[in-house]
Chain A
Amino acid sequence: DGGITQSPKYLFRKEGQNVTLSCEQNLNHDAMYWYRQDPGQGLRLIYYSQIVNDFQKGDIAEGYSVSREKKESFPLTVTSAQKNPTAFYLCASSIGENTEAFFGQGTRLTVV
């Protein structure tokens, strides 16, 4: 379904714990992105990667980390330094710049 998979769909964590969100794509896309979606806020870019072993910070990277060891995978770690981690997280991929971004189904993270 769309070739880009996020898991899990729902995730609960205790405050102070790091958590890693999975994103896998089989579309052979070079570029991958992580967005955070909050009610009434649109989508805000956390990190993006245009190529394997390279990634750049987006607008709200503080408290997050990523890796891009494989073309297919772009995991996002929400660290304890993120002040307000409860949100809906969307991963996306695209062939390259200025082309359609395909989104995953999203992961709803709740920190209690």
Chain B
Amino acid sequence: GENVEQHPSTLSVQEGDSAVIKCTYSDSASNYFPWYKQELGKRPQLIIDIRSNVGEKKDQRIAVTLNKTAKHFSLHITETQPEDSAVYFCAANYGGSQGNLIFGKGTKLSVKP
């Protein structure tokens, strides 16, 4: 079936360093790729998303890149801060419909001060 693979499952960085999380998807019809951040005990919240008609999107310290040919997309966080510590989920829509968002298994990011 369709799936989204996310790596790494855990990531530890020093404050100020960059963090990169990678995801691959299997459905060639996927055209919407959101990233969610879930802090401990809280609800997931969208931090950035990208659609298939662009290759990169940036929002301050966060950027997402998309390679449609290779079917992979990545989240880049620069100048990491302790408050970036959370679990990050990537997702892709299945069959071109957002009603069928498939999520990766998550990456636990720890930023050490």
Contacts and interface: CB of A to CB of B under 8 A. Distances in A.
Interface of A: 2, 31, 33, 35, 40-45, 48, 50, 56, 58-59, 90, 94, 96-101, 103-106
A97 B105 contact: no
Contacts of A40: 9, 105-106
Interface of B is mostly: strand
Interface of B: 1, 6, 9, 31-32, 34, 42-46, 49, 51, 89, 91, 93, 97-106
Contacts of B100: 45, 48, 58
Nearest to B87: A42
A33 B99 CA distance: 8
B32 A98 contact: yes
B46 A42 contact: no
